Amino acid sequence: MSQTSENNAGQVESALLRTLIDSLPDVIYVKDDKGRKIIANHADVASLGLSGEEEVIGKTDLELLEGSVGERCYRDDMDIISTGKPIVNKEEFFFDADGKQQWLLTTKIPVQDAGGKTSHILGIGHNITRRKQHEESLRKLNDELSSQTEELTKLNEQLTLQKEQETEKAIAQGKFEIASEILHDIGNALVGFGAYLNRINRILEKGNLKAVTNLSLFIGNQQGVLANALGADKANALLALTEGIAKTQTENNAEFSASVNELLNITAHIQEILNIQRQFVAGREGQQQRKPVNLVNIISDCRSMLLASLEKKRIKLHANIAPGTFIIKGDHTKLMQVILNVLKNSVEAIDMEADEKDINISLRADGTLIELKVKDNGKGFSPETGARLFERGFTTKSNGTGLGLYNCRSIIESHAGEFNIASPGVDHGAEVNIVFNQEEN
């Protein structure tokens, strides 16, 4: 084949190759070792918003693409020239002539010369803008679905909470009805109990103590006569006997009377509590709120109500009430519920077999603050347990509801106070600290 024929064949192949790359929708180009384009197909020229290849040839991406996009593409070209490593299927964006963001899946292949040095870069870019737009649409749709799912979850939680509240309200209403009947029965029993106590007092007053005392005095006055009739020893023995009976009877009557009076006082305290509870059950609890309440009286009432439990376990309850005024505005019933619950927890926490069984109550005022502390030497608790004590439903008792301390804190906070409980550790007791601010109360 002649040289002319070979040249013609080469031209035909070049023309066919050029026709092929210009017909493809993908961006195809060739760059030299300076990053300048020496070939650019129609898709590449069009993507740059230009009309002819002559506007592209000899220019780098720094000149053809604006800002950081051009810098990024040129930097990739120089990395390929220096390292000889290709870039395969890299997703990258650029902006067309209308300023719209376009995406290409780019592959850049280094071409080495005879010496193994990278002399050219062959680049192919497939437009994936529609795919990226579709992915973005799916992402937005997924975000919207996620947002709607969150809203539905919140709505479901609200409905569940509302249902629980309605259930609790219905249960509470049922409890109120039962409580009303129980309070009525307890009140009747207390009236009868008080009547019997008063009857015992009257019997004591009408007892034979006066007769025994008078007999003792009579024998003393007639000592001489009795000594002549019975003998001095027998007369003295009779006098000692009647005086001893009179003394013992006097002491017994005094102790018995004191016990009866204490029972009458406790009965009166319980009657007051029942009256408050009746008003609460009857739906007039609002009238009990924000009235002057003496914390000293509440402590005394709670101590009286727990007296049997304290004596049964032989627990010593020490009260250290500092001088001062301890009156706050609040709900007597709810505050008593808190103190009772705290003291009962301390009683239950103390081991029956312990050598020392002590509960210490301290009450002091510091300016406008009133601080009430209840400290016991019971079983205490670990830091892990302490972190969960105020969780609704959490309990360390086998028959507990997990609402005791949760409700106590809620009640104290509703009185503008603070309620905290701490323990040095298991078997080291616990201390409840309640603080009221009289100015905010």
pLDDT of 249 reads: 72
CA distance 2 to 354: 120
Question: If we measure between CA atoms, which residue out of 42, 45, 129 comes closest to residue 93?
Answer: 129
- When pLDDT is cut at 50, 70 and 90, the band that residue 347 belongs to is very high
Sheet holding 358-366, edge to edge: 316-321, 358-366, 369-376, 430-437, 417-422
pLDDT of 286 reads: 45
CA distance 302 to 336: 7
Average pLDDT, the chain: 82
Q: Residues 279, 281, 282, 284: is their CA dihedral positive or negative?
A: positive
- Longest Cα pair distance anywhere in the chain, in angstroms? 182
Please tell me which of 80-94, 203-217, 323-337 the model is most confident about, judged by mean pLDDT.
80-94
Radius of gyration of the chain (CA): 49
Task: Say if residue 284's pLDDT is above 60.
Answer: no
Name the token pair of 99: 């300023």
CA distance 414 to 330: 9
Residue pLDDT, tens place only, 180-228:
666 665 666 566 566 666 667 666 665 565 666 766 676 677 777 666 7
- When pLDDT is cut at 50, 70 and 90, the band that residue 287 belongs to is very low
pLDDT of 158 reads: 85
Residue pLDDT, tens place only, 108-137:
999 999 889 999 999 999 999 999 999 888
> Regarding beta strands 118-127 and 27-32, do their DSSP bridges make them parallel or antiparallel, or are they unpaired?
antiparallel
Beta bridge pairs of residue 122? 30, 109
Residue pLDDT, tens place only, 354-377:
889 999 999 999 988 999 999 999
- When pLDDT is cut at 50, 70 and 90, the band that residue 106 belongs to is very high
Residue pLDDT, tens place only, 136-162:
888 998 888 888 888 888 888 888 888
CA dist list (Å): 379 to 144, 344, 349, 372: 53, 14, 6, 21
Q: What are phi and psi of 228, to 5 degrees?
A: -65, -35
CA distance 67 to 52: 23
In terms of pTM, does the model score above 0.75?
no
End-to-end CA gap in the chain: 113
Residue pLDDT, tens place only, 21-79:
888 999 999 999 999 999 999 999 998 889 899 999 999 999 999 889 999 999 999 99
Q: What are phi and psi of 209, to 5 degrees?
A: -60, -40
**Beta carbons of 84 and 112 less than 8 angstroms apart:** yes
CA 206 to chain centre: 62
pLDDT of 168 reads: 72
Buried b (16+ CB within 10 A) or exposed e, 104-117: bbbbbebeeeeeee
CA dist list (Å): 388 to 161, 391, 396, 409, 428: 21, 5, 10, 13, 18
Task: Say if residue 316's pLDDT is above 90.
Answer: yes
CA distance 363 to 326: 8
Sheet holding 27-32, edge to edge: 37-40, 27-32, 118-127, 101-112, 87-95
CA distance 104 to 91: 6
